[in-house]
Amino acid sequence: MIRFEDVSITYSDQPEPILRDINLLLEEGELVLVVGRTGSGKTTLLQAINGLVPHFTGGTLSGRVVVNGRDTRTHPPRELADLVGVVPQDPASAFVADTVEEELAFGMECLGLSGEVMRRRVEETLDLLGLNDLRYRPLMTLSAGQQQRVAIGAVLTSHPKVLVLDEPTSALDPGAAEEILSALQRLVHDLGMTVVMAEHRLERVVQYADRVIIVPGNAQPLLIGTPQEMMREAPIAPPVVELGRLAGWNPLPLSVRDARRVAGSLRELLVGQEPPIRVISHVDSGTPLVQAKDLTFRYGPHVALKSVSVQVHGGEVVALMGRNGAGKSTLLNAIVGLRTPTSGTIKTHGVDPISLKGVELLARVGLVPQSPGDLLEATTVAAECRAADRDARVVPGTTRELLSSLASEIRDETHPRDLSEGQRLLLALAIVLAARPPLLLLDEPTRGLDYPTKIRLVDVLRNLAPAGHAIILATHDVELAAEVATRVIVLAEGEVVADGKTAEVVVASPMFAPQVSKILAPYPWLTVSDVVNTVGPVILRSHAPTSGDAFA
C-alpha cells in the first residue's frame, strides 16, 4: 500500500538530512504506530506519505514514495486526496467550514462527487463516529474530543485507503481518547484501512498496533517490528511493559488484560504489604495557599464551575482531573485572578487574586499555561530570562540559573520558537519559578511531551514539593498523576466529584487508574517504582511465570 524506496529527506535550511535511506513497506489493513522523540522526524515521515513533504514544506526528497501505485513526485497532495486522509496534530486549526456537516462534505466537494453520494457518505460517517447529534453545531463550540472525531470524519468521507494521524489522542482526556482509538480499530478491522499514527502516549495505543516504527532521530535508521519486539528493547516504555520487563514476563504483555493474566503470583507477593507512602512534607498547616469557597463561574448559559470549595496547603501536589471542559482550566485561571467568579470567593495566599498585579502576583502564584509558548515574547532565551528577572525583581541571572538546573542544554542565543515542546515548557517553568512563588500551577504540562522530557518534568516536580511549594496540575495524564500527585481532585460538569489521596481516588476509578494499579487491583500500588520499592527487583524477577528471559 505504502512503499518508501531509498528515501532521504533534507530540509533546505539544514545541512544534514532529517531522514536517511528509508526503505519501508506498509501493507493494506495495518495499524502502524510511529514513535520517536520530538524533532526526530516523525511528522516528516508522516507528511511524506501524502506528498506534503516536499511539495508543501520545501526541502529535497530523494528516492521515491509510492502510495497505491501513485508516486508522490508526480502527484501533489491534492491529487492524493482521494487516497490518503491526513489529520493534523491540532484538528481545530485545519477546519475549513463552520459547521460539522459542511466540514464533512468539504473534501468530497473538492473531489467533485455527486450530490447523492455526498449525502449518503455524510450520513454514514456521522453514524460511524457518533457525530449525528452534532451535525449542525458550529465547529468552534465542540470539545477537543469531538473536534478530533470531526477531523477524522472529514477525511473519511473521501473514502481514502490510508489514514495518517499525528498525535490523535495527546490533547484528549482518557475517555475521549478511548473513543477515538476504538473508532480507528473499527476502520482497520472492518474496512481494511491502513492507519499510520504518531503518538507519544504509548500506554494508550501500543496494544492496538500491528507494527511499531521507532524513529531514533539524527537520521539514524528506523527500527521496525511487532510491538512486542520493539517494546522489549525500547529505552522507554509504558508502565505495563516496564513492569513486564522487570518481572521477566514472556510473552511481553502490552495491554492491562494480558498483564493481569500473568500477574497472579506478583499480586500474591503484595498480600499483607503496604504500598510506599507519598511523602507530604506538610510544612505549614496555617493559611492554606488556595482557599476556594462556593466558587461558581458562568459563561452565558454554560456553567464552568458549580460552587466548588477546595483548600490546598503547602507541600501538596494536587492533580486536577476530569473530562475536557470539566472546569479544570477555569479553576486554575480563577486562582491566578484571570477570571472574576460569578459568585463565591477565592483566596490565594489569603488574598483575593483579582487584586494582585505584577510582582505581587508573581511572588505568590505562577501558572504555566497549556501552550507554554504564550508566555514567551523575546527573540532569544537569554533576553527572555533577563525579562523574567526584571518582571520578578530578582537578582539578574536567577532565571538563567534555574533554567540551567532544569535543562542545561538550552543555549542562550536560541530563539524560543526553535526549542522543542518540552524545552519550551521547561523555559516557561523557569520563568514562572524565578519569583519563587509558593504555589505553582501547571495546565496540561505533558501534552505533546515525549517520554524522556516527561520523566524530567516528573523529577523537577518531585523536587519542588518537598521545598514547600504547593503544586496543582490540571492533567489528563493518569500516569503523571500516579507518579507525582499526593492528592487527586476529579471535576465533572464543573463540580468536585472526588477529592482524596491519590491512591484512594484513582484505584477506584476505571477511567483514572494508572496501568499498574489496574494490573495489581485490588492492591493499591500505582507505579512501577512503588512495586519495585516494596518487593525488591530480585524477588520481582524470580516470580516470573516463565524464566530464562534475558531482559531485566
Partner 1 sequence: MKAALACGQHAHARWLHPGAWWIWALGLAAAASRTLNPMVLALIIAVAAVVVSARKPDAPWARSFVFFVKLGIAIIVIRVGIQILFAAALGTTTLFTLPSLALPSWMAGVRIGGTVTLESILIAFYDGLRLATIIICVGAANSLASPSRLLKSVPAALYEVGVSVVVALTFTPQLVADVTRVQSARHLRGRVTKGPRAIAGAAMPVLEGALERSVTLAAAMDSRGYGRRNTNSASQQRLSAALLIGGLVCACIGAYALVAAGSPWFLSTPMLAVGVIASLIAITWSAKSAIRSRYRPDPWWLPEWLVALSGVFAAGTFWVATWVVPFQMATPADPPTWPALPVLAVLGLAIALTPALVAPPLPEVFAVALQAEPHGNEVAA
- Within residues 408-427, the interface with partner 1 by CB under 8 A covers 417
Binding of partner 1 by 273 (CB under 8 A): no
Of 161, 157, 156, 188, the residue nearest 68 (C-alpha): 161
User: Near partner 1 by CB under 8 A, which window of 14-22, 24-32, 113-121, 478-486?
Assistant: 113-121
The residues facing 347 across adjacent strands are: 291
Q: Which lies closer to partner 1 via its Cβ, residue 90 or residue 549?
A: 90
Q: Which lies closer to partner 1 via its Cβ, residue 103 or residue 530?
A: 103
φ, ψ (nearest 5 deg) of residue 456: -65, -40
Binding of partner 1 by 56 (CB under 8 A): yes
Nearest approach in angstroms of CB 325 to partner 1 is 3
Looking at 147, 170, 250, 486, which residue binds partner 1 (CB under 8 A)? Answer: 147
Nearest approach in angstroms of CB 485 to partner 1 is 21
* Strands (DSSP E) found in 313-375: 317-321, 343-348, 365-368
Nearest approach in angstroms of CB 271 to partner 1 is 44
Nearest approach in angstroms of CB 300 to partner 1 is 6
Q: Which lies closer to partner 1 via its Cβ, residue 50 or residue 502?
A: 50
Q: Which lies closer to partner 1 via its Cβ, residue 471 or residue 528?
A: 471
Nearest approach in angstroms of CB 153 to partner 1 is 12
Distance CA 360, CA 349 (A): 11
* CA distances for 104 relative to 66, 125, 146, 180, angstroms: 27, 8, 13, 17
Preceding omega of 522 cis (within 30 degrees of 0): yes
Contact 19, 45 (CB under 8 A): yes
Binding of partner 1 by 371 (CB under 8 A): yes
CA 455 to the chain's CA centroid:
13
Contact 472, 288 (CB under 8 A): no
Site for partner 1 in 424-483 (CB under 8 A): 431-432, 435, 443
Q: SS3 letters for 23-43?
A: EEEECCCCEEEEEECCCCCHH
Site for partner 1 in 15-54 (CB under 8 A): 50, 52
Site for partner 1 in 325-344 (CB under 8 A): 325, 327-330, 333, 336-338
Distance CA 238, CA 65 (A): 32
Site for partner 1 in 286-315 (CB under 8 A): 299-302, 304
* Grid cell of 231 as nine digits: 517494546
Nearest approach in angstroms of CB 45 to partner 1 is 15
Look at strands 495-501 and 487-492 and give their pairing: antiparallel
Nearest approach in angstroms of CB 357 to partner 1 is 7
Nearest approach in angstroms of CB 498 to partner 1 is 20
Element (H, E) at 211: strand 211-215
Looking at 28, 58, 62, 96, which residue binds partner 1 (CB under 8 A)? Answer: 96
Looking at 118, 152, 162, 317, which residue binds partner 1 (CB under 8 A)? Answer: 118
# binding residues, partner 1 (CB under 8 A): 90
